Amino acid sequence: MTFYKVNFALATNEDLRQMFVLSDSSGQALNLANASLRMSLEPSTGSEDVLVLSSNTTGITIVEAEAGAFELAAPASTIGTLAPGVYYHDLLLSLDGRELRIWEGTLHLEKGIS
């Protein structure tokens, strides 16, 4: 498994919606049939997580497990509750009794006007 940097730029009046496909080190699709995914978002000021997306609850949908495909989704009504600024996030994969950190990155959130 390869570790990635994933950065997002978004406004407070936009949905966060993005599809991803995970593959193993040989480029083969990673079967997510028995997996769970969790992404946490925290402000760069270092306080507690302000948003958690999970395939076990809400915000991450495993779309096609055998193909390693999943979607992150948080509606504008949720994103709009966050203050503009920089946030840190990472994505964890739970599979076969292991916790793997897939990526880390930033979310640059600007104030939406309309």
- Per-residue pLDDT tens for 39-73? 999 999 877 879 999 999 999 999 999 999 999 99
* CA-based nearest residue to 36, from 22, 20, 55: 55
Backbone angles phi, psi at 86, to 5 degrees: -105, 135
Average pLDDT of the chain, as a whole number: 94
Q: Which pLDDT band holds residue 2 (cuts at 50, 70, 90)?
A: low
The dihedral over CA atoms of 92, 96, 98, 101, expressed in degrees to the nearest 10, equals: -30
Its pTM stands at 0.91
The CA distance from 41 to 54, in Å, is 12
The CA distance from 27 to 16, in Å, is 27
| DSSP symbol at 23 | B
Q: Pick one of 3.30.300.130, 3.60.150.10, 2.60.40.1220, 2.60.40.10 as the CATH number of 4-110.
A: 2.60.40.10
